Structure 1
Amino acid sequence: MTRQSFVTIRGKRFHWIWLRDHCLCPQCRHPSSFQKLYDISELSDPVEPLSVKEIGNKLQIIWAGDPPHHSSYPVSWLLSVAYDHETSGVDDTEEKETYLWNLAELQKYRSIWSDAITDSSENWLDQLSQLGFSLVRNLPSQDLEAFISSIGPIYHKARFGPFSTTKTIPKEQDVSQSTKGYALLPHTDSTFLYDSQRMIQFLYCEENQASGGESILVDGFKIVKDLQEDKPEVYRILSQTIVKFCRLYPDWEYYLCNNTPIINLGKNNDLGIYFSHKDFNPIAPFEEMECFYEAYSIFLGYLKNPDYQYSFKLTPGDLIILQNFRILHGRNAFAPDSGHRELTVAYLSWDYFTGRHNFHHLKHLYSVDAG
C-alpha cells in the first residue's frame, strides 16, 4: 500500500518534501532574513515523518533521521504560502482584494484620504493596493522626496532626473506643458519606455490657482472587465493587437519607442493598461487596421465617459499616488492666464511598493517561534 505523500491543513495539501524543504527552524532558515540554509538535495533518504500533530495552531512534525529533526509551522504561515489551488480552504492571510470602480462604485467605497501629518502609511498603502490610487493631503513640498524615498529609490527618467515638472512653459513641445492649457485624455505615462511599465506615479500639487484643470482618474481594470463582459471582441482586439508608443526628444537626441497591446495580459497574468493618445501609433496589419480603429474608438468612449471618471481639483500639498499600469489620469482644460498651475512628478518601481505592502501585512507570519 502506497503511503500518502502529503498532509491536509484547513483544506490545503502540503507535500512532505515541500514541508521538509521549508522547515522554519534556525538551523534550516536564517532567523532574520528567512533565507534557506538547508539544502534538500543533500538528503540521502526519502523524506519520512515520524510524527505529525497540530498543536495550538501549529503543525508539529518530527522527521526521520539520525538524529530526528523537529519542524514547527504556524498554520497561518502555511495558509499564506499554500500552493494547492485545486482544493477549497480558508485563506487566513490579510491580503485584501482589488476593488474595481467606476464613479458610482468609488462613491460607495467612501474612502477617507490620508493626511500626511496625522495618519499612518497603512491607509494609503491599502488604498493604492485596492483602488489603484490614493490621495495624500497636506504633504509639505520639502518632505516630498523623503516621503517617496521611504518606499524605495526614485526612478530617473531620461535627463529629467528624479523629478519633472508639469507647468506652462513657452514654446514647450510637450502638450501637457503648453501655454494653451489643453485638456489631456486619460492616459498612462511613459508608454514609450519598456522598463517603466509597472510603475507607481506620484503627482504632487505645488500650486493650482488656474481656472479649470480638474484632475481625472479612470480605473483601467474596471474598463477591461466591462469590455470582457459586454464587448468581448473589442477586448480580444485590444489585448492581441500590438501598438507602438513613441516620444521624440530632439534636444536630448532621443526617439524612444515601445511596442505593447493596450490591454497587456503579461507573462504571469499581470494585467496592465498602457495607453497615451498623444504618443499612440497603431501598427496592426493592413487587413486588421479598420477593425482595430473600431475597437479603439469604443475604448476611448469608455475613457471619456463621465460615469467612469473621478474628477476633482487638486490643492497645494495634495499628492496623487497611482498605479501607472492600472489608473489612467488626465485633466480638464484650464486657463493659464487665470493663475499658476504646477505639479511635480516622480516614479517608483511597483516592486518596491509590493515589497513594502507585503511586509506590513505578512511580517507577523515571519516572526515565528519555529521551535
Structure 2
Amino acid sequence: MTAPHFTVQADTLIVTWADDTTTQFPTIWLRDNCPSGLHPETHERLLDLLEIDETPVLISATRDEGVVLLEYEDGHVSRMPIALMDAHRPGRRSHDAGKIQEQLWRADLGANGIPRHTSTMILTDDYALNAWMQDTAKYGLAIVEHLPDSIDSGVQVAERVGFLRTTNFGTTFEVINKPDPNNLAYTSVALPLHTDLPNQEVPPGYQFLHCLANEATGGGSLFADGFAMAEDLRQDDPEAFRLLCETPIPFRFSDKDADIQVHRPVITLGAMGNVIEIRYNAHLAGIFDMSPEIMPAYYRAYRAYMAKTRDPKYRINVRLKAGEMVVFDNRRVLHGRDSFDPSTGFRHLHGCYVDRGEFASRLRLLERNVTIAKAS
C-alpha cells in the first residue's frame, strides 16, 4: 500500500492518503490523542489539556514504519500510529461493531421472516451468538428456539449478552394472569402495541420473553417496527412527526412500592436526524400538560401515530410455542398480545431485560474475539 504523504502546517497536519483523499488533523487533536498521554495499561487519558497550548505548533512530521513522528515547537515528540489516524479521521465516524444498521420492516416480513436461532448454539458457540445478535440488532426482533423446559433457560441466553437490567418489577418477571395485578400484562386482557416502561428515565433495551406455556385460547403475540411507523409518519405528515419529536409528554407508573415519572417525547432523534427511540404506551401516558396553543395539534399527531399502531400493514402476529423465546429491542419494536381465556389453559411467559449498552458491548467483543479466532 502506498504510504500516506504528510504536509506540515503550524496548527494542522494534512495527510494525503493512498487514494488521494486528504484529512486535516488539528494539532490540538494530535496532542490530545498522543499515546504518551494515555495510561499504559488502562489506556485512559491522563493528559490535562489545560497544561498544553491551545494550538500546539507542529514543526515536522516524519514517517517511521507504522507511525509518524511529530515534533512540536515546545519540544514534545509524538509517535502517532498511522492506523489510529486512519481509523479516526476527523469528520468521519469510526467503525463501531456495536452499531448495526437497522432494516425497517412492516407486516410483509411475516412471522416466517423473523430470524430464528437455536438456543444450544447461542450458548456454546461465539459465531452463533454473534449471528443471532447481528440479526436481532438488524431487525430489532428475533426468536430463539428449542429452549429447555426450565425457567432459567431464557435467562441463560440473556446472560450470554450481558448483565440483566433490574426494574421495579424485579430482575426477572412472570407474565401470567394473576390476582391483584399492578400491570395490565398480568391480566388476560388484550394489550395494544406498546413499548415497556416509557416512564423510566432510560427504558430497558432488549426484552427477552421465554414462552413456558401457551395453552389458552387466544394470547397471540403482536409486533411492529416502531421505527418504520415513525419514518412513514415523517413522510405522510411532517408536522405530526415534528410535534412527536419535540414535545415531551408525561409517562408515569405508580403502585404501593414505586412512583416513577418522566417527561419525554414519543420519538427521539439521533445526532444525524435518524430515529433512535420510541416511547409509546397509551396506558402509561400521563395527563398531557403541554401549552393549550399546541395541544389540539399534538393530539392530532399522537392519534396519527396511534392509528399506525392499529394498521395491519405494520403488524406481525406470532403464536409463541413452549420452548420459544422472542427477543426484541424494546425502544424500537412495539409489542402486544391478543386477549386470552385463562379457563381454557395456562399461559406463562418468563421475562427479563438487557440494556442496549450491554448488547452493543458484547457485539464489539465478539467482533474482536471472532476475528482473533479466525486468524488463529
Q: Same fold (TM over 0.5)?
A: yes
Asked whether the 8 Å contact 1:137–1:317 carries over to 2, the reply is yes
Q: Distance in 2 between matches of 1:42 and 1:260?
A: 40
Which secondary structure does the structure 2 equivalent of 1:277 belong to? coil
**Change beyond 3 A, Cα 1:246–1:49:** same
Cα offsets for 1:195-218 (capped at 9, x unmatched) = x42522221212111222221111
> Identity over aligned residues, as a percent?
23
Equivalent in 143, 162, 166 of residue 175 of structure 2? 166
Matched, 1:214 2:241: no
The residue type paired with residue 345 of structure 2 is G
Q: TM-score, normalised by structure 2?
A: 0.79
Which secondary structure does the structure 2 equivalent of 1:306 belong to? coil
Which secondary structure does the structure 2 equivalent of 1:118 belong to? helix
Asked whether the 8 Å contact 1:188–1:329 carries over to 2, the reply is yes
In the TM superposition, 1:252-331 aligns within 5 A as 252-265=256-269, 271-281=276-286, 282-331=288-337
Equivalent in 325, 346, 367 of residue 361 of structure 1? 367
Q: TM-score, normalised by structure 1?
A: 0.80
Matched, 1:157 2:167: yes
Which secondary structure does the structure 2 equivalent of 1:117 belong to? helix
Q: Distance in 2 between matches of 1:345 and 1:79?
A: 43
Deviation at 1:117, TM superposition (A): 0.5
Matched, 1:337 2:343: yes
Asked whether the 8 Å contact 1:216–1:330 carries over to 2, the reply is yes
Cα offsets for 1:131-187 (capped at 9, x unmatched) = 2222222233333333323433322222x3211111111343532222xx2211110
Q: Distance in 1 between matches of 2:238 and 2:349?
A: 38
**Change beyond 3 A, Cα 1:317–1:154:** same
Instruction: Specify the alignment match of 1:14 in structure 2.
Output: 25
Matched, 1:187 2:194: yes
Asked whether the 8 Å contact 1:79–1:93 carries over to 2, the reply is no
The residue type paired with residue 275 of structure 1 is Y
The residue type paired with residue 147 of structure 2 is L
Asked whether the 8 Å contact 1:50–1:61 carries over to 2, the reply is no
Q: Distance in 2 between matches of 1:309 and 1:223?
A: 10
In the TM superposition, 1:227-238 aligns within 5 A as 227-238=233-244
**Change beyond 3 A, Cα 1:187–1:92:** closer
Q: Distance in 1 between matches of 2:50 and 2:180?
A: 65
Cα offsets for 1:67-88 (capped at 9, x unmatched) = 95533232xx544433314xxx
Which secondary structure does the structure 1 equivalent of 2:336 belong to? strand
The total of aligned residue pairs comes to: 348
Deviation at 1:291, TM superposition (A): 2.5
Q: Distance in 2 between matches of 1:115 and 1:49?
A: 59
The residue type paired with residue 71 of structure 2 is A
Equivalent in 118, 121, 131 of residue 139 of structure 2? 131
The residue type paired with residue 82 of structure 1 is R
Which secondary structure does the structure 1 equivalent of 2:280 belong to? coil
**Change beyond 3 A, Cα 1:80–1:102:** farther
Equivalent in 245, 256, 262 of residue 251 of structure 2? 245
Instruction: Specify the alignment match of 1:369 in structure 2.
Output: none
**Change beyond 3 A, Cα 1:163–1:92:** closer
Deviation at 1:259, TM superposition (A): 1.6
Q: Distance in 1 between matches of 2:252 and 2:112?
A: 37
- In structure 2, stretches of 5+ residues that fail to align are 1-7, 123-127
The residue type paired with residue 126 of structure 1 is Q
Instruction: Specify the alignment match of 1:145 in structure 2.
Output: 155
**Change beyond 3 A, Cα 1:30–1:315:** farther
Instruction: Specify the alignment match of 2:184 in structure 1.
Output: 175
Which secondary structure does the structure 2 equivalent of 1:308 belong to? coil
- RMSD of aligned Cα (Å): 3.4
